[in-house]
Amino acid sequence: MKNRKTLLNDLLKTLVDEWGHEEVAAALADTISSSQPLTRAATGSNLGSSGAKRLLSATAQIERAALEGERRDLFLQLAERYDRKRFLPSVADVREFLIMMGERPIGMKNRKEAFRVLLQSLIRLPDDRLQQLVGTALHSGPSELGPLSDAIAAAGERLPRQRQANTD
Amino acid sequence: MARAGGPVTVCVINLKGGVGKSTISALLARRGYTTRDLDVLAIDIDPQANLSQGLMHNEYRRFLAGKRPSIVEVFGGYIPPSITSSAPTPLITNSTFEVIAQTEARSLQLIPSRFDFSDNLLGAVRPDPRTLARFLSSNFQHKDLIIIDCAPTESILTTAAYHASGNVLVPVKPEYFATIGFPLLGQSLNNFRNQNRGNQISVAGVVVNNAFYDGGNDGGPEKAQAMKEIRDESKKNGWPIYKNEIPHSRGFPKLMRGDRSYQGNAQYFSIFADEFFRSVGL
């Protein structure tokens, strides 16, 4: 079974053989520029000087997107957390998040590509939901006992029984 | 979305700890929401709060630090004075408790537990075991599914879960000490029915949970003996046993931690889950 890269190369070769390199490149440029402004960012990629595809970070994708004001700030905060792996740290997390939003995600090979898919769903959310996402640790990855233990201990210090035990 | 007969309410219980009640509760709540498109409420009435940690992951620490509303406030009937309000405030249900996930039409909500829950009830003058049932009947009739994760010891919390539930799901691990929970649970349910003849509560089924069983899916003579005892005790009580067992997998603890890097055989939980949902009419 062909992998994705081989399939893509075969398809491109067919197009180039039929229409030539220049016509295919022009048609691709037209398609990208006629899409919605967000789509340019949502392709998640940038052609380097050698023509090789370079996937953009989440933050770079948002900076290229047509977003303004507070909404742009919210998306930038989410993107920065995503890049630091403090929001949906694995592709599996992104997939689960999208499923919980009622989507049926496909075709995510790595996190940068996954952010492109994620963005299409996030863009539909109202500002208050985005604000909740920015403020929650619900999607920040696996739990660890240490911080939980500290949180339980801190809460326990407020209980009268605990203070009594400490003075015994 | 409201169902004609109200939500299907299930308490997940076995008077023996470590059989997978919280894991099964969390996975059923998630699966009901994601694959059956149900509007779900999960309730954690175990002071160990494993269901809460399994659904909230790192957010549970913030929940504790922020003193956010929990099952404690449900039994108290109000939200205590806080930094934002110097007077007690009423419980406003839909916005009060934790939202794990939501779409426009439905959500997966959680009423979390706290480790001081037992202390809080013991400190009350006369804790009322009908409090939870009244709260749910007044505020969550629009839900499709309510799952209650119970503590493994007989207490007022057990009675509260019975009052609030029409169905019981009994996980059991196929080993000797785990089966000792069966006669205890049978006695507990019978006592409740005798004292509350107006309540209708029945065991939807017993599910054999190999998830944490050291013997894996095929535990040899000891498992065979335990399974015979499970079948005998279930028959004695008139409890059906689900055909599909939950498989052994290292993926289950990872999922409860919020680590999705490996699922393994945990993905086959879905086979039991589908049988369970069919059995309760969902």
The verdict on residue B166 lying in a domain is: yes
B111 lies in a domain?
Answer: yes
Looking at residue B177, its pLDDT comes to 80
Residue B170, in any domain of the structure: yes
Positions of E strands within A12-168: 45-47, 53-55
Average predicted confidence (pLDDT) for chain B: 90
Is residue B2 domain-resident?
no
> Does B56 reach chain A within 8 Å, measured CB to CB?
yes
Q: Is residue B1 part of a domain?
A: no
Q: Is A123's Cβ below 8 Å from some Cβ in B?
A: no
Q: Which of A93, A96, A100 to probe the B interface (max B CBs under 10 A)?
A: A100
Classify residue B3: in a domain, yes or no. no
What CA–CA distances, in Å, run from B220 to B139, B226, B243? 48, 10, 19
pLDDT tens readout for residues B125-170: 567 899 999 999 999 999 999 999 999 988 888 999 999 999 999 9
In this prediction the pTM is 0.84
Q: Which domain holds residue B131?
A: 8-279
- Residue B146 is which amino acid? I
Characterize the bridge pairing of strands B107-111 and B40-44. Answer: parallel
Number of domains within chain B: 1
Of B60, B65, B108, the CB nearest to A154: B65
Question: Could A142 and B57 be called an inter-chain contact, meaning their C-beta atoms sit closer than 8 Å?
Answer: yes
Q: Residue B273: its pLDDT value, please?
A: 97
Could you tell me if residue B50 is inside a domain?
yes
Provide the 10 A C-beta neighbour count for residue B91: 17
Nearest chain A residue to B52 by CA: give it. Answer: A138
Nearest Cα neighbor of B49 from B110, B123, B121, B122 is: B110
Q: Which of B281, B276, B8, B53 has its CA nearest to residue B148? A: B8
pLDDT band at residue B17, thresholds of 50, 70 and 90? Answer: confident
Mean pLDDT on B33-55? 95
- In chain A, residues with a C-beta closer than 8 Å to the C-beta of B108 are 100
Q: Does B114 touch chain A (CB under 8 A)?
A: yes
Say what the pLDDT of residue A19 is.
73
Determine the pLDDT at residue A162. Answer: 42
* Helices and strands in chain A, H and E counts: 10, 2
Per residue in B81-130, pLDDT (tens digit) is 887 788 988 887 666 789 999 998 999 999 999 887 766 666 665 678 99
pLDDT at position B218:
66
CATH of residue B221: 3.40.50.300
Query: For residues A5 and A136, what is the distance between their CA atoms, to the nearest angstrom?
Result: 37
d(CA B135, CA A129): 27
CB pairs under 8 A between A and B: 70
Our CA-based measurement puts residue A14 at a distance from the nearest CA of chain B, in whole angstroms, of: 38
> Radius of gyration (Cα) for chain A, nearest Å?
22
CA A89 to chain centre: 9
Residues of A in contact with B53 (CB under 8 A): 143, 148
Using a CB–CB cutoff of 8 Å, tell me whether A137 touches chain B.
Answer: yes
Nearest-CB residue to A143 (from B103, B257, B261): B257
CA A40: distance to chain centroid? 15
Measured in angstroms, the CA of A33 and the nearest CA of chain B are apart by 32
Distances (CA, A) of A158 to A110, B67, B116, B143: 44, 11, 11, 35
Encode chain A (168 residues) as per-residue pLDDT tens digits.
Answer: 557 777 788 888 778 777 777 677 777 766 665 554 454 444 455 544 444 457 889 999 999 998 889 999 999 999 999 999 999 999 999 999 999 999 988 878 889 899 999 999 999 999 999 999 999 998 999 998 888 888 888 887 655 544 444 444
Question: Which pair of tokens denotes residue A59?
Answer: 């933050």
- Could you read off the pLDDT of B245-261 as tens digits, one per residue? 999 888 999 999 999 88
- What average pLDDT does range B9-25 have in this prediction? 93
The reported pLDDT for the residue numbered A51 is 45
φ, ψ at B280 (rounded to 5°):
-105, 10
pLDDT at B57 over 90: yes
Least confident range of A84-88, A160-164, B176-180, B198-202:
A160-164
- Identify the pLDDT of residue A165: 44
Q: Tell me, what amino acid is at B1?
A: M
Q: Is residue B144 part of a domain?
A: yes
